[in-house]
Amino acid sequence: MTTTQLPVDVLHIVANELAEQQDFSSLYRCAISGSYFAKAGAIQNLYRICNYSPVVGGGSETTSADGPVAVGEQESIVQRWAILWRSIVLSSLGQGKTLFPYCHFLRVLDLRDLLFLLDDDKFRGKIPDYFFAGDLAHLRILVNQPATRKGWRKPRLDFKQIILAVADAITRQAIKLEVLTEPVAPGLDLLSAGLIQWSPRLSNLQFLQIGDGVALGDEAVQDLLIQSCPHLTKLEIYRWMNDDKSDASLARFFRRLPANTLTSFQNESECGIGPETCLALSTHALSLTSLDLAVGNKGIPGLGGLKSCINLITLTLSDLDAPHHLEDTENDVLADMIEWFSACKNLKHLTLHNFPSAPKFLGPAFKAEKFMLDYLQISGSSTRQGVLFRLRDNAEFHLAIMRQTSLKTLLLACDTEGSASQETYLLCNAITNMRRLKKLNLARASDFFDESHIVQICQYLSDLEELVLDAYHVTDAVLPQLSNLIELKSVTFSGYTMFSFDGLNKYVERLQPGNTGLMIDIVNPIFESSMSEREQAVVRRNLKKQADGTLIYQVRDPADAYQPSDSDSD
């Protein structure tokens, strides 16, 4: 019986489609099915998306869907992780070192992942011996460690020099690289030296993730990047500390980039961003569609400089030195932000963190329906006072937010202290007008919700898949209405609850196919009315059988809440 092989071009299409779906497992099976498919795009696409491999980052080292991973399996994952990196590095050393030139297919050089591997506590014994064997022996670079009171300590791997050497070898061969990431670790500044050498090889670079922004403090590095990487459109900086010139340096880089080429910028912590950087970002006002900006005291006055960036689709603003009450201290900035938000007609995804003045600059845009969001998060640090907007005295905002009827996700936190029942009613009424919501998290906004509010939410938001509420003294009375949420996959009650064994069992019995995988998290069951361990086990068993679901239920004995200290006996 004869067999007909599919044409090579068809196999390339199949492999490319699997790669686009990030289906690493299927692509791997294609690659090992035979040399014909391996050469017809399977290997090429496998390494093109190798950063999505299940073993990258150590995979599910400690947990999996079936529970904790055995120690032996954890070591096996790290071993496969090391094999992946070894094959890439080895292929960069010259023709014939590996069966295929794997590094030629790379699109992402994730040096953060390489650091995670080298620093993994299971990267020891036979695993590093294998990794550094043969042609990679020169990469086993060690550095002495300071002695302790216990005496001499054996040398450890010199992460910085190893990663620099690996990156230098790979960038010589991986001519199609589109993404480069720098590890985030104190004192591990790789790119200051590395980019001088690597930039001329990165002609296809589109996205640069920098761990320490100090690399961009060098104007020579900036100019080389701009000259050598004409496709660079996305920049992310983790931090840029202890540099008084960081604002000016970053602003220079944005101004030197060709105008309206930057599409995305993100900084995750303190980078000294101020008015100069904010104003420089406006040189990319037409192209910038994603902005994730974290600013402190220096940057708050500069936010008005962003008002020309009106093509944003995704926007995240975080105040690192909150709280700043703009209506009291920065009226000009507040006016500019009202103008800015009212002009962002394409905005779909908005996150505000530590902005107690959020209702002041969002309210007018919401009221005028200047944009219709899919995602809205207003949150604040749990360790700082005054970073949330007050539920009290913001009735106009609640009436305005009611108009965001396109929302699919809402995560809302506010200061409920001193609020009246009418204000709680307005908030609940506004939320239940958002009929398309699939994810609703009110853990820090629903302190004064009662059962009537929960019933109202369940009655009107029938598409909910995830629900997080605080509320107080919640009983079985809400469970019949909760059953109406036939697509619900996760529900959390973080306030005090008094669900009974019978009530929960009846709720479980009413679950629908759309509730498959449901996770029920009851955070604070009132001790006196809590279920026994046997009853909990029965509910868990029934939930697993009915919907393949899980129950999290932790009873806290009030007697255990107080732990006497040594001073109490004095």
Domain extents in the chain: 463-558
Mean of pLDDT values over 442-459:
96
CA distance 19 to 519: 31
Is 568's pLDDT higher than 70? no
Per-residue pLDDT reduced to its tens digit, 111-157: 999 999 999 999 999 999 999 999 999 999 999 888 777 777 788 99
Residue 376 in 3-state DSSP? strand
Residue 560 confidence (pLDDT) above 90: no
Tens-digit pLDDT profile for residues 185-204 = 887 889 998 999 999 999 99
Position 303 scores a pLDDT of 98
Dihedral sign (CA 541, 543, 544, 545): positive
**Site of tokens 């409920």:** 416
What backbone torsions phi and psi does residue 414 show, to the nearest 5 degrees?
A: -150, 165
Q: Is the pLDDT of residue 63 over 70?
A: no
Mean pLDDT of the chain: 92
pLDDT tens, position by position, 259-297? 999 999 999 999 999 999 999 999 999 999 999 999 999
Given pLDDT bands bounded at 50, 70 and 90, which one contains residue 43? confident
> Per-residue confidence at 18, pLDDT binned at 50, 70, 90?
confident
Distance CA 92, CA 111 (A): 15
- Alpha helices for 235-274 (secondary structure H): 246-256
Is 333 in contact with 340 (CB distance < 8 Å)? Answer: no
Q: Has this prediction a pTM greater than 0.85?
A: yes
Q: Which of 33-42, 128-137, 174-183, 476-485 has the lowest mean pLDDT?
A: 33-42
Contact 244/218 with Cβ under 8 angstroms?
no
For residue 492, the cross-strand partners are: 468, 521
* Region for 41 from its dihedrals, namely left if φ exceeds 0, alpha if ψ lies in -120 to 50, beta otherwise: left
- Give the Cα-Cα-Cα angle 164, 165, 170 (nearest 5 degrees): 100
Give yes or no for residue 567 having a pLDDT over 50: no
Distance CA(179)–CA(169), nearest Å, equals 16
Q: CA 367 → CA 26, 327, 461, distances in Å?
A: 49, 19, 22
Query: Which of helix, strand or coil describes residue 497?
Result: strand
Average pLDDT of span 496-515: 97
Q: What is the pLDDT of residue 19?
A: 73
Q: What is the pLDDT at residue 187? A: 79
Decide: 406 and 375 in contact? Cβ < 8 Å: no
Closest CA to 135 of 89, 78, 83, 79: 89
pLDDT for the residue numbered 347: 98
Kindly compute the dihedral angle of the four CA atoms of residues 331, 336, 341, 344, in this order, to the nearest 10 degrees: 180
> Residue 335 — very low, low, confident or very high, per pLDDT cuts 50/70/90?
very high
Closest C-alpha to 206, from 237, 238, 223, 230: 230
Q: Where is pLDDT greater, at 84 or 32?
A: 84
Both tokens assigned to 37: 């498919």
